[in-house]
Amino acid sequence: MIVTARLAVLGLALHAEQARAAEPRYLGVASCSSSTCHGAIVTREGGRVEQNEYRVWSQKDRHSRAYAALSTEESRLIATRLGLDSATKAPACLACHSMQIPEDRQDPGFEVKDGVGCEACHGAASGWIRTHYAVGVSHQKSVDNGLIKLEDPATRARTCMPCHQGGSDRGVTHQMMAAGHPRLSFELDTFTHLQPTHFKIDDDYHLRKTVTDSATAWAVGQAVSVDSYLSMLTRRVDDRNAAWPDFALYDCFSCHHAIGTQLADSGPAPGRELGLPRLALPALPLYRALVELSGPKAAAELDRATNAIRQAGVTGGAELQRESAALAELARRDTKAFADRRFENKELLTLLANISSPDRVRDYRTYADAEQATMACQALAATIADPKRKALPENRATALANAVQGLFAATESEETFRAARFQEAMAKLRRAL
């Protein structure tokens, strides 16, 4: 019996070792940098790709400098305040400023100092690196081999969100922010367009991949943002070594403002008490505007779920986990619904009207709220402006574009932001509609 038991243990160990060996390996950015692959100095014409993608990443993309940012004086001070020897070695910092890959899944070419490299977004390359350029092999085949399908907005959002907002395995804590780490901000469509372009959407791209408009990408991003926040919330509740609540999960300006400088709470919603801290989730009012398109029943269901989380968030525990799971289920359902939906012109205009309505604008009480609303209006206006849609006559389209620029001017910086100026910019946008 003892021998049999030992053999069983050895068998399990061998199985685990084989499973680890079968996991895809990370090859490092060097595997993409050849001049015949993605490291060309001069853009190649006539092919599916321009082959300069590595150069774009290394020279223009801030992801390539994410690890180097940990060696700045500012990062050194943050690490010192947190009691860390070095930000370049701290797992909490490396989680987003580099790629924390187990050593047994790293090829010799993999370097932590490369920061957020190609495989952070595209997936471990050992499985797909040969198929993704092979003649006659479909894009889907590479996806089946582990290439991350970033053209899908839900997949892209779930890839970006853990570092740019926080999620189930990482995020910025209140302690980090107190030490000097900046507030995180993200919106899928805006940040996609701000990313230095290393692909071209041409006829060939359309043949191989699905192209999503800005409105759909934005909508999917809102739902994934809610889901990711709830993953982070649940993780903090589960961590018995962490103090509760972690104030990074709540609106900073629930505490950090002089009385009278911020807008007052817009009033109690059903089941909600005044004075409870607001969730640090600027996407929530915008997500609700999307849900309203499905009717009052869906909006009421969302209100019940968010109010329950707000109530339970004071104490944490099992009730908060249960309510978070309920809202996360709604967010995941809506993620799929938004991804499969093509918003009609009337729906886009309705969304803009709802987002800029006086009642909704009162929910944008802080810079983070206004910033998210501005990016939402930009995504919706950009989709409406598509000439193929013929959504608005030229003069109204111009007025709408000018109004969106006014929103960007009102949210130019956190230091100069004034809620009243932003409300005026929103009123201009309403008039443009």
And the tokens for 229? 């926040």
Phi, psi (5° rounding) for residue 8? -65, -45
**Tens of each residue's pLDDT in the chain, 433 residues:** 555 555 444 554 444 444 445 789 999 999 999 988 998 888 877 778 888 999 999 999 999 999 999 999 999 999 999 999 999 999 999 999 999 899 999 999 999 999 999 999 999 999 999 999 888 889 999 999 999 999 999 999 999 999 999 888 888 999 999 999 998 999 999 999 999 988 888 888 888 888 899 999 999 999 999 999 998 888 887 777 776 778 888 888 777 766 555 555 555 454 445 566 677 888 888 999 999 999 999 999 999 998 888 888 776 778 888 888 999 999 999 999 999 999 999 999 999 999 999 988 888 878 999 999 999 999 999 999 999 998 899 999 999 999 999 999 999 998 899 989 999 999 999 999 9
**Residue listed under structure tokens 């009421």:** 300
pLDDT for 242-296, tens place per residue?
767 788 888 887 777 665 555 555 554 544 455 666 778 888 889 999 999 999 9
The fourth-level CATH superfamily of domain 22-148 is Flavocytochrome C3; Chain A (1.10.1130.10)
**pLDDT at residue 7, as a whole number:** 47
pLDDT for 89-102, tens place per residue?
999 999 999 998 99
Kindly list the domain boundaries of the chain, sorted by start residue: 22-148, 214-432
Distances (CA, A) of 353 to 283, 310, 428: 17, 27, 11
Task: Decide if 249 contacts 176 (C-beta within 8 A).
Answer: no
Indicate the burial class of 275 (C-beta count within 10 angstroms; 0-12, 13-18, 19 or more): exposed
Indicate the burial class of 421 (C-beta count within 10 angstroms; 0-12, 13-18, 19 or more): middle
pLDDT for 310-329, tens place per residue?
888 776 778 888 888 999 99
Residues 6+ apart with CB under 8 A from 428: 403, 406
Task: Decide if 366 contacts 252 (C-beta within 8 A).
Answer: yes
* SS3 of the chain: CHHHHHHHHHHHHHHHHHHHHHCCCECCHHHHCCCCCCCCCCCCCCCCCCCCHHHHHHHHCHHHHCCHHHHCHHHHHHHHHCCCCCCCCCHHHHHHHCCCCCHHHECCCCCHHHCCCHHHHHCCHHHCCCCCCCCCCCHHHHHHCCCCCCCCHHHHHHHHHHHHCCCCCCCCCHHHHHHCCCCCCCCHHHHHHHCCCCCCCCHHHHHHCCCCCHHHHHHHHHHHHHHHHHHHHHHHHHCCCCCCCCHHHECHHHCCCCCCCCCCCCCCCCCCCCCCCCECCCCHHHHHHHHHCCCHHHHHHHHHHHHHHHHHCCCCCHHHHHHHHHHHHHHHHHHHHHHCCCCCHHHHHHHHHHHCCHHHHCCCCCHHHHHHHHHHHHHHHHHHCCCCCCCCCHHHHHHHHHHHHHHHHHCCCCCCCCHHHHHHHHHHHHHHC
Global pTM value: 0.89
Radius of gyration of the chain from its Cα atoms, rounded to whole angstroms: 24
Cα four-point dihedral sign 288, 290, 292, 298: negative
